[in-house]
Amino acid sequence: MALSFAHFGPGRGPIHLDDLGCNGNEVSLLECPHIGVGNHNCRHLEDAGVDCLESLISCEDEQVRLVGGGTGAEGRVELCYNNTWGTVCDDFWDVEDARVVCRQLGLPFQFATAHGQARFGQGIGRIHLDDVECSGLEVLLLSCPSNEVGDHNCDHSEDAGVMCSGGGVEDCENGQVRLAGGNDTAGRVELCYDNTWGTVCDA
């Protein structure tokens, strides 16, 4: 479902696309007819959003995502395992763990911060990881020392989160899309162009 008028809050930074005319068969927003990247007559109060059907969302093992943050660079940490999203407990959760998550997502990680006690809201469903103790050098969260997947002694009031910031950002690819400011399957549409995340207008 398409949502308009900054339903998930106004974004920041550049507005990459306006007047999109997708037919639904494109594999990238950049393939849709538009008036040119960077050309627009709108403000962030018109940032476009989407609400996807959760049943259509699948994930691959080791994938991570951030949910419930105000931007695409913060939120509750969720990990995919056995094609199911689950949360991470905040026991031993610290800045090294946060850096690994941010780096894995291609976000700035030099000054990443770790948050606990469900700072970005409580998740639902499974809790995949507990007692995570990354060194900060791992490429994947699932590579960090922790209890066995599913072995935990916590509930969702202890869901871990991160805020990604600082240098060390990995490049994003033209056409890459992320959702920000929403929940598991909905949010403000943000598009990467020239290694910069920007928004899309709703008209």
Pair (78, 103) in one structural domain: yes
Pair (44, 126) in one structural domain: no
The Cα–Cα gap between 27 and 157 comes to: 38
Pair (45, 74) in one structural domain: no
Cα torsion 21, 57, 146, 110 to 10°: value is 10
Pair (153, 81) in one structural domain: yes
**Run of H or E residues at 102:** helix 95-104
Pair (87, 21) in one structural domain: no
**Residue tagged 């006690």 (tokens):** 117
Residue 64 lies in a domain: no
> Which SS3 state, helix, strand or coil, does residue 151 take?
coil
> pLDDT value at position 55?
45
Pair (26, 110) in one structural domain: no
Instruction: Work out how many domains the chain is built from and give that number.
Output: 2
Which residue range(s) make up the domain with 27? Answer: 2-53+185-200
Taking alpha carbons only, the member of 67, 85, 68 closest to residue 129 is 85
Residue 173 lies in a domain: no
Q: Which residue has the higher pLDDT, 87 or 27?
A: 87
Residue 169 lies in a domain: no
What digits encode the pLDDT tens for the residues 148-198?
999 999 999 999 999 998 865 556 778 888 887 766 677 888 888 887 888
What is the mean pLDDT of the segment spanning 106-132?
93
Residues contacting 144, CB < 8 A, separation 6+? 97, 100, 132, 133, 134, 135, 138
Pair (23, 90) in one structural domain: no
Taking alpha carbons only, the member of 60, 22, 20 closest to residue 40 is 20
The percentage of the chain sitting over the pLDDT mark of 90, rounded to a whole number, equals 43
Residue 60 lies in a domain: no
Average pLDDT score, the chain: 88
- Using the predicted structure, report yes or no on whether residue 78 has a pLDDT greater than 80: yes
Does pTM surpass 0.85?
Answer: no
- Using the predicted structure, report yes or no on whether residue 93 has a pLDDT greater than 90: yes
